[in-house]
């Protein structure tokens, strides 16, 4: 049987994504470390501990593996609490550690993408009210200027804030993230402060580095009414969509943040992005539920028969990926798109190969329509500490033994390596790694 290949444009970025607290280890000066010490906050009482020991230098071997597997880019975050351990002190040695990492990527011919805030805050910032306090904007800009001045020699690709919707909703509505509150008004205030911080950071970065490319990473959760014909299901889906998917991006496209609680004018945010960073994991159905006022009288769930991950917290919905890219193109028709995260938790790797193949196929469909998708960062390179789920969720192309720090390659690492090196997905790869979806991707 002849082979066929879905090729991507020359110069397409292929990489993986990581976050400081999840991989560095012994990150003891932020609110997440404090959260881990509280009983019942993390599944099975897990703690980040040594994480992947990147602060001890093991980023080098993980970068080696990524480069050997054909990845030409990597997205990582810098840790605010390391760089500014107290309000009045900067740690130059921490900045130098990040310089070494950036140099390490460039030496391996990998494009660095640096995220300035990925869920973790310095303890001192939390004590001063964190993102609830409007003064956080000026504090964030001081930090951003310090980092960009210190690292500008090695990268011009910046992500200001990762998933502001996740930070606000998980920390201030569901309470799964610190500070564990349940106040939707407070969540919208936090998100508005993040909009203002992003906008100010955008201008600050461009003041320092005129050639900078600045954006943010947005976790778009595709929501569909459980019963499309029922008005109440459609209504609560629309309300959830506003809060989860629209609030922050609407401020950057129009200067007005729209949410279920109304509109907030933030005119300085309009047009403050050079690319759109898109995180996509799954699609959910939403139904009206009068007994659940905390979730705006709705309940979200995966449809029956879904291709679920080990934990049941994630699912394989590749068609949703195409729809989400389409939404991004329609919302920001003149911006390039970077897929800043996409992945699935699967300890034994039985479903990750088909997840990767099917999602990359949908991304190719988008590129084939000349939609400006310029890169893909898989979540993640090696198993890491997955926030409130601890070590129970394994997203890595490489398995991590947390006791020995040994890395073990999963078959999906080989599949992703072949994709990166080919700059495309072939029928040969699908037959080899995930034959169960071959007919879906290469019918006939």
pLDDT of 393 strictly over 80 = yes
* Per-residue pLDDT tens digits for 51-74: 999 999 999 999 999 999 999 999
pLDDT of 130 strictly over 90 = yes
Quick one: pLDDT at residue 294?
80
129 three-class SS? coil
Is residue 420 within 8 Å of 377, Cβ to Cβ?
no
Distance CA 298, CA 312 (A): 20
Distance CA 214, CA 379 (A): 21
Q: What confidence tier does 165 reach under pLDDT thresholds 50, 70, 90? A: very high
Distance CA 137, CA 130 (A): 10
The helix (H) or strand (E) run that includes residue 76 is strand 73-77
107 Cβ contact partners less than 8 Å away, ≥ 6 residues apart? none
* Per-residue pLDDT tens digits for 6-53: 999 999 999 999 999 999 999 999 999 999 999 999 999 999 999 999
| Domain count for the chain | 1
pLDDT of 283 strictly over 70 = yes
DSSP string, 260-307: TTEEEE-GGGTT--SSEEEE---EEEEEE-TT-GGGTSEEEEPPTT--
239 three-class SS? helix
Distance CA 341, CA 310 (A): 19
Q: What confidence tier does 2 reach under pLDDT thresholds 50, 70, 90? A: low
Q: Where are the alpha helices (DSSP H) in 128-230?
A: 136-151, 164-172, 184-208
- The one-character DSSP state at 45 is G
Distance CA 169, CA 177 (A): 9
Quick one: pLDDT at residue 1?
52
* Per-residue pLDDT tens digits for 187-231: 999 999 999 999 999 999 999 999 999 999 999 999 999 999 999
Q: Which residue has the tokens 């050639």?
A: 211
CATH number at residue 286: 3.20.20.80
Q: What are phi and psi of 279, to 5 degrees?
A: -105, 130
Longest pairwise C-alpha distance within the chain: 66
| Structural domain containing residue 354 | 5-441
The helix (H) or strand (E) run that includes residue 138 is helix 136-151
Is residue 77 within 8 Å of 18, Cβ to Cβ?
yes
Residues in the chain: 444
Per-residue pLDDT, averaged over 240-245, amounts to 95
């Amino acid at each position: 049987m002849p082979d066929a290949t879905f090729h991507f444009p020359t110069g397409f970025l292929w990489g993986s994504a990581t976050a400081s607290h999840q991989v560095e280890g012994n990150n003891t000066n932020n609110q997440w470390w404090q959260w881990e010490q509280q009983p019942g906050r993390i599944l099975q009482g897990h703690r980040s501990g040594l994480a992947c020991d990147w602060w001890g230098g093991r980023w080098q071997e993980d970068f080696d593996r990524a480069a050997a597997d054909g990845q030409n880019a990597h997205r990582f975050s810098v840790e605010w609490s390391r760089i500014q351990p107290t309000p009045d002190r900067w740690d130059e040695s921490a900045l130098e550690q990040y310089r070494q990492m950036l140099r390490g990527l460039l030496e391996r011919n990998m494009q660095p993408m640096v995220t300035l805030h990925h869920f973790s805050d310095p303890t001192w910032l939390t004590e001063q009210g964190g993102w609830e306090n409007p003064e956080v904007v000026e504090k964030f800009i001081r930090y951003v200027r310090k980092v960009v001045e210190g690292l500008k020699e090695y990268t011009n690709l910046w992500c200001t804030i990762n998933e502001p919707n996740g930070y606000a909703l998980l920390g201030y509505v569901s309470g799964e993230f610190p500070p564990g509150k349940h106040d939707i008004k407070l969540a919208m205030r936090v998100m508005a402060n993040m909009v203002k911080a992003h906008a100010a950071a955008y201008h600050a970065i461009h003041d320092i580095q005129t050639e900078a490319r600045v954006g943010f990473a947005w976790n778009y959760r595709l929501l569909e009414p459980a019963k499309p014909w029922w008005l109440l299901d459609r209504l609560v889906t629309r309300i959830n969509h506003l809060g989860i998917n629209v609030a922050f991006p609407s401020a950057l496209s129009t200067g007005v943040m729209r949410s279920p609680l109304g509109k907030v004018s933030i005119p300085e945010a309009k047009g403050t992005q050079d690319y759109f960073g898109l995180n996509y994991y799954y699609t959910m159905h939403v139904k009206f539920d009068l007994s659940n006022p905390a979730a705006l009288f709705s309940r979200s769930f995966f449809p029956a028969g879904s291709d679920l991950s080990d934990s049941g917290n994630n699912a394989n919905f590749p068609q949703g990926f195409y729809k989400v890219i389409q939404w991004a193109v329609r919302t920001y028709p003149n911006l390039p798109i970077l897929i800043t995260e996409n992945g699935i938790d699967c300890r034994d790797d039985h479903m990750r190969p088909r997840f990767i193949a099917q999602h990359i196929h949908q991304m190719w469909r988008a590129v084939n329509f000349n939609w400006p998708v310029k890169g893909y960062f898989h979540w993640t390179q090696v198993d890491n500490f997955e926030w409130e789920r601890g070590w129970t969720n394994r997203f890595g192309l490489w398995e991590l033994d947390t006791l020995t720090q040994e890395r073990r390659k999963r078959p999906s690492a080989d599949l992703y390596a072949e994709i990166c090196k080919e700059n495309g997905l072939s029928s040969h790869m699908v037959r080899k790694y995930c034959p169960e979806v071959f007919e879906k991707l290469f019918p006939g």
